[in-house]
Amino acid sequence: MLILGIESSCDETGVALYDQERGLLAHALHSQVAMHRDYGGVVPELASRDHVRRLVPLLRKALAESGRSLCEVGAIAYTQGPGLAGALLVGAAFAEALAASLGVPTVPVHHLEGHLLSPLLSARPPRFPFVALLVSGGHTQLMRVSGVGDYELLGETLDDAAGEAFDKTAKLLGLGYPGGPALSALAERGKPEAVKLPRPMLNSGDLMFSFSGLKTAVLTRVREPVPDAQGCADIARGFQDAIVEVLVKKSFAALKASGLKQLVVAGGVGANRELRRRLDAGAERRGITVYYPEFEFCTDNGAMIALAGALRLESGAVPKTAGAFAVRPRWPLAEVSG
C-alpha cells in the first residue's frame, strides 16, 4: 500500500510517500525559518497560513519525484499532535478532506512517535526493544520502546527542553533565529573548560532533566562583564558541554536500568555533532549500539509521519480518532497505546 504522510505541527511543512513494500519513495519539505527570523521565533498565525500555501505544491512535487499518481494512495497519515493548534488543523483538514475524496482511510499520528520511529528509515535500522532519547525544541524524554505503540516513559525534563534551552541561550548571546544550530557552530570556536557551567540533575539518581537553571547561569555570565567574541564562544562551548554531559549520562543510565543495548536518538537536537560524538564514544566502551535518523530526518518531516502511519496500519493499531478531524495540541506520548 502507498501511504501519504503529512506533517504540519509547527514551522515545517512536510509531505512524503511511503510504499509498504519498497520503503520511502519521495519526500518534500518546506522550512519557514526565513519567514519567522524577523520575529525572533515562530508566529503561530503566520505558520498556519504558510502551511495552507505549501501543502498542494509539496504534494505535487512528491508525486512527481515518486512517479506515482494520487489515485494510487491507499491511506493518508497526518500529524494529529502535539504542536500548534492552528498548524495542526491545516494538516488535519487537508488530510481528512483528501482522504474523503479518494475514499481511503486516515491514520492520525503522534508527532513524537514519528521522531521515535524515524531511525527505521535508515539502511541500518534498530530492532525492538530499545531505549529512545527524544531531544528537541519542545521535548526531552527517555522512553523504553518495546514495539509500535508500546512506549514507557522513563524520564523527562521538569522545565525547559534541551532544544528550548539552546534557543534561549543563543538569544542571550545575541545569535539569530533559530538559535540552536548557531550556538552549536559558535561552540566549535570555544575553548574547552574555559567556562564551567552547572550540570543540572546530573547526579540526581533518576532519569529526570532540568535545564532552566543552566540558562540562568548563562544569563549571569553575559551580564557581568559583557563578554567579547571569544568569551561568547567559550560560553557557548561551556553551555553545550553541560547539556551534552547530562544527556549522555542519563541515556546510559537508562540503558543500564533497562538492560537494553540499543539507543535511538531522535529529534532536532539529535543532529548535534558533539552529542553524537560523546554518545558514540561512550557506546563503544559499553558495547552499546546507537542509532540516529539521517540528518534530513532529524527536523520535522513528512517521511517519519508516513512511516509511522504505515507501521500503525501493519500492526492494526489505528487510533480510534481516525476520520474524526480532531487535533491534540497537548498530547503526552505515554498516552499513545497500541
Model pLDDT, residue 177 = 84
Is the residue at 301 inside a domain? Answer: yes
Give the per-residue SS3 of 149-216.
Answer: CEEEEEEEECCCCHHHHHHHHHHHCCCCCCHHHHHHHHHCCCCCCCCCCCCCCCCCCCCCECCHHHHH
Total domain count for the chain?
A: 2
Radius of gyration of the chain (CA): 20
Same structural domain, 147 and 260? yes
Model pLDDT, residue 224 = 75
CB 279 within 8 A of CB 3: no
Low-confidence spans in the chain with pLDDT less than 50: none
Is the residue at 123 inside a domain? Answer: no
CATH number of the domain at 266, please: 3.30.420.40
Side by side, the strands of the sheet bearing 289-291 are 150-156, 140-147, 130-135, 262-266, 289-291
70 in the Ramachandran plot: left (φ > 0), alpha (ψ -120 to 50) or beta? alpha
Is the residue at 147 inside a domain? Answer: yes
Model pLDDT, residue 338 = 59
Model pLDDT, residue 34 = 94
Model pLDDT, residue 337 = 64
Is the residue at 321 inside a domain? Answer: yes
Q: pTM of the entire structure?
A: 0.94
Same structural domain, 136 and 276? yes
Model pLDDT, residue 319 = 67
CB 78 within 8 A of CB 106: yes
Same structural domain, 233 and 151? yes
Is the residue at 122 inside a domain? Answer: no
Is the residue at 319 inside a domain? Answer: yes
Domain's final residue, options 257, 275, 292: 292
Is the residue at 194 inside a domain? Answer: yes
Is the residue at 320 inside a domain? Answer: yes
Model pLDDT, residue 223 = 87
Model pLDDT, residue 315 = 87
Report phi then psi at 63, rounded to 5. Answer: -65, -45
Same structural domain, 204 and 169? yes
Same structural domain, 49 and 87? yes
pLDDT digit string (tens) for 113-133? Answer: 999 999 999 989 999 999 999
Same structural domain, 255 and 326? no
Domain interval for residue 193: 128-292
Model pLDDT, residue 322 = 61
